[in-house]
Amino acid sequence: VTENIAMLPAKKSETIRTLESHVSIRSFNSTPVSEETLAMVLNAARRAPTSSNLQAYSVVVVRDPETRRRLSILAGNQRHVAEAPVFLAFCADISRIRLACQLHSKELAGDTLEMGLVAVIDAALVGMNVASAAESLGMGTVMIGGMRNHPLEVAATLALPEGAFVIFGMCIGWPERRPPQKPRLPEAAVIHYERYNSDGVEQALDEYDRQLESHFRGIDKPTDKASWTRRVATEFSRVRRGELRAAVRRLGFAFD
């Protein structure tokens, strides 16, 4: 019987419908996000898997308008950071791990690439869980990598301890507008079966350039940035956030 069921195409779950309907939301209406709703989302998100059960992350919940205004400026004047009712800062955080070591008279061997990656991955997994949990309730989210523009100032604004830095932020609220979904790269470009296969990637990118151009035309956005390959080539042929390594080192992450 189980085998027969396994042969049937899987029926879509609510979770799959939520994931499929994701689109970043950058405009929010005035409905508040209640403490109860936020706590429910955060507590669900905290069930995320975590490397060696280290839970090497922290989340700072920011509702204070003045702090959000300051963070919006630090993020490169991103208005939605000031306008969303709730802003969350997701931190890679090894401060508790250092403390656990001290409690047992040991010193954390923490200045490694591995420890840094563990913390960044843990924080990212919780962040994605928060986004999905919030979106499953009909709320809107957008992640804010702009938090890495000025990591030291962001850390000071949020009073982070040594051993923590914000890997990205997130605006959460009830959507005012839900834009059309942005197309994703064709499956052939990103999913491989058994072995990586680069055949057809250029063709997939060409197809994606055309899809994105028509998406941007459809929403009356300038299409000069619409071609994915052209935008990537323009923006990523120069170093971005070149100061980041030195800044996160000062915050306790050597990534060596």
Contact residues: ligand FMN, CB under 6 A = 22-24, 26, 75, 78, 142-146, 168, 182
Task: Tell me the C-alpha distance between 113 and 253, whole Å.
Answer: 8
Q: Which tokens is 209 given?
A: 């350039």
CA atoms within 13 A on the CB side of 99: 10
Lay out the sheet containing 57-62: strands in order across: 57-62, 86-93, 164-173, 140-144
Q: How far is the CB of 145 from ligand FMN (least distance, A)?
A: 3
Q: How far is the CB of 180 from ligand FMN (least distance, A)?
A: 9
* Closer to ligand FMN by Cβ: residue 78 or 95: 78
Q: Report the Cα 225 to chain-centroid distance in Å.
A: 22
Q: How far is the CB of 128 from ligand FMN (least distance, A)?
A: 8
Q: How far is the CB of 146 from ligand FMN (least distance, A)?
A: 4
Q: Which residue is nearest to ligand FMN (CB)?
A: 145
Do residues 33 and 131 lie in contact, with contact meaning Cβ atoms separated by under 8 Å?
no
Q: Which residues contact 166 (CB under 8 A, 6 or more apart)?
A: 60, 89, 90, 91, 147, 148, 151, 154, 155, 158, 160
DSSP string, 62-88: E--HHHHHHHHHHTTS-HHHHHSSEEE
Q: How far is the CB of 167 from ligand FMN (least distance, A)?
A: 8
* Closer to ligand FMN by Cβ: residue 60 or 142: 142
* Closer to ligand FMN by Cβ: residue 23 or 244: 23
The full length of the chain comes to 256
* Closer to ligand FMN by Cβ: residue 182 or 192: 182
Q: How far is the CB of 76 from ligand FMN (least distance, A)?
A: 7
Do residues 140 and 97 lie in contact, with contact meaning Cβ atoms separated by under 8 Å?
no
Do residues 146 and 80 lie in contact, with contact meaning Cβ atoms separated by under 8 Å?
no
